[in-house]
A = this chain, B = another copy of it.
Amino acid sequence: MKIGIIGATGYGGAEIARILRSHPYTDECILYSSSDEGTPYHQSYPHLVKLADQTLKPIDIEQIASETDFLFMAAPPGVSSRLTPQLDAYALPVIDLSGDLRLKHQAVYESWYKRESAPGHILEKAVYGLSELNREEIKTAKHIANPGCFPTAVLLGLAPLVKNGLVNESFVIADAKTGVSGAGRKASMGTHFSEINDNFKIYKVNEHQHTPEIEQAVRGWDPAFQPITFSTHLVPMTRGIMATIYLELKESMTGQQLQQFFSDFYQDSYFVRIRESGEFPATKEVYGSNFCDIGVAADERTNRVTIVSVIDNLMKGAAGQAVQNFNIMNGWSEKAGLDFTPIYP
């Protein structure tokens, strides 16, 4: 199978290339980029010298449709809104890692992203690729809107309780923390080493564009949900997301009960690991892997539940989940080419 990757020079695209290099069912990756076309890929990413020496090709949809069997799009915001209508004319299945196709309502997209939305009929058809929750729709989808990094961590943490209607709909606070690679490879003051190192920041307070994505999914499970409070912080590390989620239950559960409930919910989901009661994952414990690790606690003093969910933002939060969806769409094991052991330390 020949795979195309649009946006190969970004971190998401490079991570897909890393994964597919050892994927059992892919023969070749063709890499497309609007920058650096005509140069060998290892010039952008020297760690791939002798491993991925292909020349970067320009983005030409017709050409791509003719020479690839499957397409990953990992382009900056706005590109997919523009290209997807063209792609729609071809049979080529597509997994899109941007935020452009995730929200069902154009007005919501435009209000949070501050840019023009993709056409409504495109948004309608795109299937939200939260692998563990939407397996059936993903299997038959032609176009996947791959979830955002924060929503993946938050939603996998919320799903067991919310889908079962157990959560007080007016009380969810998700305090999220991310490594810097989530901001992409573009140089800016906000990713400058000297500004970030030994520093901890909050950003986009009450304005992060992943907020409506989380709310849309949560309301799909429990339509009574009120707006949630969602905060994002920047951690001086490269990879990793932790979402610390605070909520109140309609009826109280013990930590043990919660742990069992989560374990049961995810018993057929290899990539979600529920920790023992009283144990909580750290971000590095999933580094380089596709796992989402979750710990839960109930606090008798406050009657609140704390859920801690960690992922590698470039793996389960982007490229890893994309390949997981790729596997599901092709009827392969979800683990095919994706069973990386976390690298530690």
| Residues of A bordering B, CB below 8 Å | 11, 14, 18, 21-22, 45-51, 173, 175, 177, 179-181, 183, 185, 187-189, 191-203, 205-206, 226-229, 231, 233, 235-240, 242, 244, 246, 273, 275, 279-288, 293, 295, 297, 299, 301-302, 304, 306, 308, 310, 339, 341-345
Contact = CB atoms under 8 A, between A and B. Distances in A.
A343 B343 contact: yes
Copies of this chain in the oligomer: 4
A259 to B, nearest CB: 13
A210 B244 CA distance: 19
Nearest to A215: B301
A47 B342 CA distance: 6
19 contacts: A21-B341, A48-B342, A175-B231, A180-B194, A192-B193, A193-B193, A197-B237, A198-B198, A198-B239, A198-B240, A199-B240, A200-B282, A201-B282, A203-B280, A205-B280, A205-B308, A228-B302, A231-B244, A236-B237
A240 to B, nearest CB: 6
Contact of A301 (B49, B183, B195, B206): B206
A39 to B, nearest CB: 13
Contacts of A231: 175, 244, 306
Of the candidates A183, A198, A229, the one having the most CB atoms from chain B within 10 angstroms of its own CB is A198
Given A47-B287, A244-B231, A273-B49, A198 B238 contact: yes
